[in-house]
Amino acid sequence: MNIDLSGRRALVSGSNQGIGLAIATELARAGAAVVVNGRGKDRTEQAAATITDQLPDAQVTAVAADLSTADGTAELRDRVPEVDILVNNLGIFGAKPVLEVDDDEWRRYFDVNVLSAVRLTRTYLPGMMDRGWGRVMNIASDSAVVIPVEMVHYGMTKTALLAVSRGFAKAVAGSGVTVNSVIVGPTHTPGVEAFVSELVGEDLPWDEAQRRFMREHRPGSLIQRLIEPAEVGAIVVYLGSDYASATTGGAVRADGGYVDSILP
């Protein structure tokens, strides 16, 4: 399947590292003009440079803005008035006993992981509808379905994204615009490496730490390894293409078979 996204502009929030950077890279590889985003100017520009180092012909724009705030979203909109493909990837995570998560932290997780996606979708969806074509993807997690006891506050936000995706998909029914969520399983990123070390011990070699993490904390994975970020990027590229025109309002799984369910 040859997916050509030439002529499409894609925005990936929180894309200066990890899964977001991999998604932006794969979209650029498919020919889309890509906007990468992060809070800090230097890191965001470095992320753009990382993509162009791999893909010298790629069209990449770096826009630093804190999308957890309304002001940051407005700043981004002023720089990038229209997009064809919106990937709401921005998110934070961390382990903490649920009884120790206070009101402020609950709100912070909701603001960053959910409300940022709602704002961006609300910003760019009308233009997509006017043009009769658009793709919105919310990057969710297996934690949306299998709530981890050590991250209930995080899991809650990813469950909310499934509902947000379904609701917006209904709002744009018949417009030529699709809205989906992507359920991502345990993925190999620097942030996850740190998380794994926190859970299983910092002194273990990485290969051993990964095996122990999967065995003790994610035993349901059918691929029995961490997912590589580019594998998530491939799913997003497909959903961002014309080939996925009949897929909307769905929760598409890129979880390595971790969620033990036939349906999400």
**Across 148-163, average pLDDT:** 97
Angle among Cα 144, 212, 158 to the nearest 5 degrees reads: 10
- Show which residues are catalytic: 154
Per-residue pLDDT, 194: 87
Pull the structure tokens for residue 45.
Answer: 């520009």
- For the stretch 188-196, contacts whose Cβ atoms lie closer than 8 Å and that sit 24 or more positions apart, written own/partner, are 188/226, 188/227, 188/228, 188/229, 189/17, 189/18, 189/19, 189/229, 190/17, 190/18, 191/17, 191/18, 191/93, 192/18, 192/226, 195/93, 195/94, 195/95
The mean pLDDT of 166-174, rounded to a whole number, is: 98
More confident residue, 61 or 95: 61
pLDDT tens across 173-200, in order? Answer: 999 999 999 999 999 988 788 888 888 9
Predicted confidence at residue 201, as pLDDT, reads: 82
pLDDT in tens, 2-61: 999 999 999 999 999 999 999 999 999 999 999 999 999 999 999 999 999 999 999 999
User: What homologous superfamily is domain 9-185+229-246 in, according to CATH?
Assistant: NAD(P)-binding Rossmann-like Domain (3.40.50.720)
Domain segments of the chain: what residues? 9-185+229-246, 187-226
% helix, strand, coil for the chain, step of 5: 50, 15, 35
Q: Under a CB-based contact definition with an 8 Å cutoff, are residues 165 and 86 in contact? A: no
